[in-house]
């Protein structure tokens, strides 16, 4: 049996999708696969409420961890067994393969009925494929965000005060940020923690400064190859990590620290700052309900020509199976689930930012700050950098942190990988 399961997963990864699909055997009118184990109880309550109102049965099925969930979706696509609602949990390149295979419905027409106007723009844009996208997807909206997120810097107000810093005025410039780190170290406090062994998270931090130094067009030009990763502006991005290492900003072992350990480090007062997502509000509450903290944007570099941007927008998004006979029922449920009343209920129970902007008024003060900064998240781009180049960026930033590479060495390696992936000589 294990061999058969592995074969199914391998097929999902290696065999091109076919353009037809079947729905799974009927367990409910609308079956939803998801990976959010902490929200299952809230989802079940929502499903029961919807069935009571409409007589349409909805079943949420959880598969975790996320790697197991992704494998299940890929295998189901190959076996033509996808449910009414699911998510690929992948980037736009992977989502596009499902769309082009006919597995994901275009929701553009449904969104124009007034649905779109209630949702945050940025999360919706991340589910949108614009004209001329590199994946050759027909322009349209192909997913529905059910909540939104953003990644900012949390800071411990009590530790700031202990180090002589003003907890009401966290640093807003790069120089002030480094000075805050110096004062925290002088007070015997580790300044900054994050799960930087996880490449995506160190990449998020680097990208904030890439947007600050190059702006949207500069990033597009880099992906297209007209700006090199050895450009002075990119060197300034790498210098972020070198500066922080030089000023002893990083918590011990940060380059090998997973985010769960970093969250615990911050929650227990062993570090004064932590780069983390809006989901951290729930995490920190579970670890230390009395933690006194605030959140701030990553501080802007003085030479940065463009505004700071942060990772975020879409938190969790769901797609509709285009081939399901109950596709219309699935769309109707998602429209109801993202309406103001249901979004308020989910936000209260899960402590996540709702995707319906009209439901954000009742959030906690910290989550309101995250919600207000959704407008500052990265723009959705019509092209993306290769994962191979991103991987070299992330690992080289780790190497800069521990002093194994200089910024010039990192730049040369990243550009060499870019040339290799583009086939340049």
Q: Of all helices (H) and strands (E), which one includes residue 189?
A: none
Mean pLDDT computed over every residue of the chain = 92
Position 424 scores a pLDDT of: 58
Residue 425 pLDDT exceeds 90? no
Select the more confidently predicted residue: 144 or 315: 144
Q: Which residue has the tokens 């969104």?
A: 111
Band (pLDDT 50/70/90 cuts) for residue 52 is very high
Query: What confidence tens digit (pLDDT) does each residue in 299-338 have?
Result: 999 787 899 999 998 789 999 999 999 999 999 999 999 9
Q: How far is Cα of residue 204 from the mean position of the Cα atoms in its chain?
A: 9
* pLDDT tens, position by position, 58-93: 999 999 988 899 999 999 999 999 999 999 998 899
Distance CA 127, CA 215 (A): 22
Residues contacting 161, CB < 8 A, separation 6+: 167
Residue 17 has pLDDT above 60, yes or no: no
Asked if residue 1 has pLDDT above 70, the reply is no
Do the bridges between strand 144-156 and strand 353-354 make them parallel or antiparallel, or are there none, so unpaired?
Answer: antiparallel
Residues 98-108: tens digit of each pLDDT: 999 999 999 99
Q: Which residue has the higher pLDDT, 14 or 62?
A: 62
CA pair distance 96, 106, nearest whole angstrom: 12
**43 has a pLDDT exceeding 90:** yes
Strand partners, 296: 153
pLDDT computed for residue 3 by the predictor: 38
Q: What is the pLDDT of residue 130?
A: 92
Instruction: Quote the CA–CA distance of 54 and 29 in Å, as a whole number.
Output: 11
Read off the pLDDT of residues 154-187 as tens digits, 9 standing for 90 and up. Answer: 999 999 999 999 999 999 999 999 999 999 999 9
Contact partners, residue 385, CB within 8 Å, separation at least 6? 222, 223
Cα separation, 52 vs 28, in Å, equals 14
Q: State yes or no: pLDDT of 12 exceeds 50.
A: no
Task: Report the pLDDT averaged over residues 246-257.
Answer: 97
**pLDDT of 23 over the 60 cut:** no
| Mean predicted confidence (pLDDT) in 115-134 | 93
Token couple for 241:
């990590």
Stronger pLDDT, 10 or 115, i.e. the higher one: 115
What tokens appear for 147 in the block?
A: 């909540």
Residue 361: per-residue pLDDT: 86
pLDDT at 26: 67
pLDDT value, residue 91: 86
Question: What is the model's pLDDT at position 207?
Answer: 97
Q: Which of 345, 298, 370 is nearest to 149 (CA)?
A: 370
Looking at residues 17-45, what average pLDDT do you find?
77
List the domains of the chain with CATH numbers.
18-148+315-370 (3.40.190.10), 150-311+383-422 (3.40.190.10)
User: In sequence order, which ranges of 15-162 are alpha helices (DSSP H)?
Assistant: 40-54, 66-78, 92-100, 108-110, 121-125, 157-162
Q: How confident is the model at residue 19 (pLDDT cuts 50, 70, 90)?
A: very low
Q: Please count the residues of the chain.
A: 425
For 332-371, what is each residue's pLDDT tens digit? 999 999 999 999 999 999 889 999 999 988 899 999 999 9
């Amino acid at each position: 049996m294990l061999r058969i399961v592995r074969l199914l997963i391998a097929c999902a990864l290696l065999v091109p999708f076919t353009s037809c699909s079947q729905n799974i055997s009927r367990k409910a009118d609308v079956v939803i696969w998801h990976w959010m184990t902490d929200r299952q109880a809230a989802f079940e309550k929502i499903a029961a409420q919807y069935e009571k109102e409409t007589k349409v049965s909805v079943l949420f099925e959880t598969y975790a961890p996320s790697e197991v969930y992704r494998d299940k979706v890929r295998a189901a696509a190959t076996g033509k067994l996808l449910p009414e609602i699911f998510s690929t949990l992948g980037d736009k390149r992977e989502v596009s393969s499902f769309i082009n295979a006919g597995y994901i419905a275009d929701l553009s027409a449904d969104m124009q009925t007034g649905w779109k106007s209630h949702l945050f723009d940025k999360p919706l844009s991340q589910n949108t494929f614009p004209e001329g996208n590199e994946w050759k997807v027909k322009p349209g909206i192909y997913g529905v965000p059910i909540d939104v997120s953003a990644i900012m810097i949390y800071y411990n107000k009590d530790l700031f005060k202990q180090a002589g810093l003003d907890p009401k005025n966290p640093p807003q410039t790069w120089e002030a940020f480094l000075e805050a780190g110096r004062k925290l170290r002088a007070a015997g406090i580790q300044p900054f923690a994050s799960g930087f062994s996880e490449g995506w998270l160190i990449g998020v931090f680097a990208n904030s400064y890439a947007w600050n130094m190059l702006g949207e067009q500069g990033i597009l030009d880099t992906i297209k190859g007209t700006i090199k990763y050895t450009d002075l502006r990119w060197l300034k991005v790498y210098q972020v990590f070198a500066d922080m290492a030089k000023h002893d900003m990083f918590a011990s072992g940060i380059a090998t620290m997973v985010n769960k350990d970093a969250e615990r480090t911050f929650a227990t007062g062993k570090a004064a700052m932590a780069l983390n997502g809006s989901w951290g509000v729930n995490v920190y509450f579970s670890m230390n309900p009395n933690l006194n903290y605030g959140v701030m944007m990553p501080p802007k570099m003085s030479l940065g020509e463009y505004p700071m941007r942060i990772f975020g927008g879409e938190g969790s998004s769901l797609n509709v199976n285009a081939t399901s006979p109950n596709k219309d029922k699935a769309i109707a449920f998602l429209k109801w689930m993202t309406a103001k009343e249901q979004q308020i209920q989910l936000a209260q129970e899960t402590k996540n930012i709702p995707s319906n902007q009209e439901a954000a008024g009742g959030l906690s003060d910290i989550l309101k700050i995250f919600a207000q900064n959704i407008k500052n998240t990265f723009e959705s781009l019509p092209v993306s950098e290769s994962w191979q180049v991103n991987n070299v960026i992330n690992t080289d930033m780790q190497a800069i942190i521990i002093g194994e590479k200089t910024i010039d060495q990192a730049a040369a390696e990243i550009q060499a990988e870019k040339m290799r992936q583009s086939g340049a000589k």
